[in-house]
Amino acid sequence: MSLRHALLGMLAEHPASGYDLLKRFNTSLAHVWPAKQSQLYGELGRMAEAGLIAVTDTGARNRKEYSITPEGRDELHRWLTQTKPDRSFRSESLLRVFFLWTLSPEEAAAYLEEFAEEAARHLAAFEAIRDHAPWRDTEPDRYARITLEHGLRDARTAVEWARWAGAEVGAAHTAATA
Amino acid sequence: MSLRHALLGMLAEHPASGYDLLKRFNTSLAHVWPAKQSQLYGELGRMAEAGLIAVTDTGARNRKEYSITPEGRDELHRWLTQTKPDRSFRSESLLRVFFLWTLSPEEAAAYLEEFAEEAARHLAAFEAIRDHAPWRDTEPDRYARITLEHGLRDARTAVEWARWAGAEVGAAHTAATA
DNA sequence: TAACTCATGTAAAAAGTTACATGATTGG
DNA sequence: CCAATCATGTAACTTTTTACATGAGTTA
């Protein structure tokens, strides 16, 4: 239940509403653990029922501000230190590479080019965040930057791989048709 | 519906049973699109009903061999050329990094060390596959190796990042307690 | 003949996505 | 006052996971 722990982690920093948390899922968290609005409100309700968080303030427009409880902090700590992360990994764009042999060499090359371009756009977006986001000198932000650095390196690796793969495919095609 | 297209892609190479396909989901495909046994058999049934694949042979122990149909090939091609891959990305181990500030510096460092070790094990496993798998000189295998190369580069990047991150965290701790 | 591998299936639950629905408040 | 943003909720559906269930053929 990573969504639950993502919410606990954010609330450990400071109280927030579902709407506030959603904004973070649409920005920083989107790159490591995407979540939709409908999923969020449901989970917050269940977490409150379980005593991990509590409504500590209400505002205009039916706003509910949630705070993490001591039980919630315990659960967050338990998750981080006593459980192993699920390292399974899904990538539709990489899955497709397995099946590029069913396409013409031109189509396969086009796919890898688009892959490289997309990765380059991704990289540029991360660089923009690194250089222009309003970073504070706080511990949470230090770790956010460390996580971002992973994204940067990952995107760079992806660009390089896709260019290499494109060349690899092109070379084989040239050799086969020469 | 990536699972469906993963199955089509494998059957495009040659006919296979659910059990055969499952073995590939437990080896090569496991690194880009994990799937469980129960999901597979259900999906194969639905695909046969939709006319994308068909049972072309039956063997001992109730074995059913599926083949891709012309409609299935069309659908695979349509997927690869006419639709954009979903690039969303989930990583529980990276999500955790966001919340390491809630731990003691020692606990955070231990997490990043374990991350590096796990990535190194991953890298070693990929190298073993590259060097010892029974690669054939075929187009499908060429693309499988290209996909594997992504995994290798990705794992290398992860090891380097985790070591850098560990040093980063350690340095901050030393500075703060000096 | 016992253990192992082959081989398929289903049921229930959890997690995630898409779509619909509603209304308050604020800024121009 | 109109558009945008804030703010929450629910219903239906799809996807994925976990667990149970069964039995045929193979090998030591």
pLDDT tens digits, one per residue of A140-160:
999 999 999 999 999 999 999
Where does the pLDDT of residue B146 fall: very low under 50, low under 70, confident under 90, or very high at 90 and above? very high
Sequence length of chain B is: 178
Q: How many residues does this entry show for chain A?
A: 178
Q: Does A159 contact B at CB distance below 8 Å?
A: no
Strands B64-68 and B16-17, bridge-based pairing:
antiparallel
Contact predicate B155/A157, CB 8 Å = no
Hey, of A152, A161, A164, which one would you mutate to test binding to chain B, going by the most B CBs within 10 A of its CB? A161
Protein residue minimizing CA–C1' distance to D9: A41
Answer for the pair A107, B17: CB distance below 8 angstroms, yes or no. Answer: no
Closest residue to C25 by CA to C1' distance? A61
Q: What is the pLDDT of residue B172?
A: 77
Interface touch B33/A144, C-beta < 8 Å: no
**Average pLDDT over every residue of B19-41:** 97
pLDDT tens digits for range A106-128: 999 999 999 999 999 999 999 99
Q: What is the mean pLDDT of residues B50-63?
A: 96
Say which DSSP state A137 is in: S
Nearest nucleotide to A3 (CA to C1') is C15
Answer yes or no: pTM beyond 0.85.
yes
3-state secondary structure (DSSP) of residue A63: coil
Phi, psi of B64, rounded to the nearest 5 degrees: -115, 125
Query: CB contact, 8 Å: B60 with chain A?
Result: no
Segments of chain A scoring below 70 in pLDDT:
none
**Residue carrying structure tokens 């896709």:** A162
Backbone conformation region of residue A88, classed left if phi is above 0, alpha if psi is from -120 to 50, else beta:
beta
Q: Does A165 touch chain B (CB under 8 A)?
A: yes
B12·A118 Cβ contact <8 A:
no
Distance of CA B4 to the CA centre of its chain: 15
| Contact flag, residue B159 CB and nucleic strand D, below 7 A | no
Token pair 């796919």: residue: A111
Closest chain B residue to the Cα of A32, Cα to Cα:
B90
The gap between the terminal CA atoms of chain B, to the nearest Å, is: 54
Phi, psi for residue B53 in degrees, rounded to 5: -140, 165
> What's residue B170's pLDDT?
85
- Report CA torsion sign: B99, B103, B104, B109: negative
Q: Residue A36, Cβ neighbours under 10 Å: how many?
A: 10
The position carrying tokens 């073995």 is B23
Other C-beta atoms within 10 Å of A146: how many?
Answer: 23
What pLDDT is recorded for position A167? 96
